Amino acid sequence: MFVFAWLSKISKGGSHNPLTLLSPTISGSFSGFLFTVCIRIPAQVLGSITIVKLIPQTFPEVGHGPRLNVDLHHGALTEGLLTFVIISISLGLAKNNPNSFFMKT
């Protein structure tokens, strides 16, 4: 999560989805890992930088950022736990039975 927070900081607010990046990397082969590290992560960073620069021009009323209604530590802990649970469930379903109903939805 620190890497994705750092990527968000250097892209000045770009959003990165760790589920789509980390799931194939963890459960796949070494070539899949290299593809993710060398192609997918840089592509997401460049895409988010481009979108972050285009959004204020296209929609000037948008872009003031989200507001957190709880303490920063509670928000970060909740985000981290939810990300961990989602990735764990996704990897568990992918490993157990790829033809199951849940994997098709």
When pLDDT is cut at 50, 70 and 90, the band that residue 74 belongs to is very high
Q: With both helix axes pointing from N to C terminus, report the angle between 72-96 and 18-27 in degrees, rounded to the nearest 10.
A: 40
Spatial contact of 103 and 27, defined as CB atoms under 8 Å apart: no
Question: In 3D, which of 89, 104, 94 has the Cα closest to residue 27?
Answer: 94
Of 19-28, 32-41, 63-72, minimum mean pLDDT range: 19-28
Mean pLDDT taken over the chain: 75
- Work out the percent of the chain whose per-residue pLDDT is above 70: 64
Q: What is the DSSP letter of 64?
A: S
User: Over 70: is that where the pLDDT of 16 sits?
Assistant: no
